[in-house]
Amino acid sequence: MEILGPAGESLRLAEHYRRMTDEELIALAQRKEDLTETAQQALANEVSARRLAVPKVEAPEVARRPPPRSPGEEDPYAEERRLVAIATVWSERDARQLQDVLDAAGIPFYMGREEATRVESVTSNFANGVPVGVMHVGVPWAQAAMTEHYFPQDVPPEEKYEDTGEVAIHCPKCRSEDVIFERSVQGSPDASGNSSEKYQWKCGECGYDWEDDGAAGAK
C-alpha cells in the first residue's frame, strides 16, 4: 500500500481534479463539505484556475440510509435502499480513487462492514479486501462512473486453483464471476523470440475489459 504525505496527497488530488471535466468539478464543488481539507483546497484551486461558477444546490433528501423502521412497519423504498456491493478495494489508494469517482457522480457509498461513508472512517484491513456498496437505486450510475473513471492499481493476483477443469475467473475491477471470454491473441515475443497466448475478457457485471495469461479451462 502506498502511503502519501500531505504534500504527495495534495499533488495527487490536484492532478486528479485537472483530469475532470468542468461539469464534474462543479458537481463535486457543490458537495465540498464531504471532502477532506486537503481535497477542498485542491478542488478550490482548480475551480479558481478555470474560473468556474459553482451554483448553490439544495442538500439531497437522502444522503444516508434511514434508520430501521419499527417491527411490522413496511418500507415502500426498501428495495431501492438495499445495499449492493459494486467493488472490493484492496488499498487505501484505490479506496480514495473510488471515493473521488463516486463523489463526482453524486452517489453515496458505504465501505466495509462498518458501512463507513468516508475512507478516513474505514477500520477494516484493506489487505483483506474492503467491500464497497451503494444503494440499489444508484447501481447503474455507479457502474457507469466506475467503467469510465475507476482504474484500481492494487488488485491482488488471481488465486491459483488446482487444474480440475473448472477455473473461477473474477473481474479484477468488481470481483464478479460474471466474466465473458472474448478471444485469444498472440502476445509480444520475449527476448528469446517466444510468444505466449493472451486472453481477452469482459465483465458482464461492470463492463470492464482486460487481458491476461488466462487459465486452463477458462474458455
| Structure confidence by residue, pLDDT tens digits, 144-164 | 889 889 999 988 875 333 444
Strand spans (E) along the chain: 83-89, 110-111, 130-135, 179-186, 197-203, 209-212
| Residues pairing with 84 in the sheet | 134
- Write out pLDDT tens, residues 69-128: 566 556 656 667 788 889 999 999 999 999 999 998 888 999 998 889 999 999 989 988
CA quadruple 181, 185, 190, 196: dihedral positive or negative?
Answer: positive
Mean of all residue pLDDT scores within the chain: 76
Measuring CA to CA, which residue among 163, 2, 162, 14 is closest to residue 90? Answer: 2
Q: Are 189 and 141 in contact (CB under 8 A)?
A: no
pLDDT, mean of residues 51-71? 62
- The Cα–Cα gap between 106 and 24 comes to 10
pLDDT at 219: 37
**Domains in the chain, ordered, with CATH?**
1-58 (no CATH), 80-155 (3.30.70), 157-219 (2.20.25)
Burial class (CB in 10 A: 0-12, 13-18, 19+), 88: buried
| Residues pairing with 111 in the sheet | 116, 132
pLDDT at 185: 64
Measuring CA to CA, which residue among 98, 94, 132 is closest to residue 112? Answer: 132
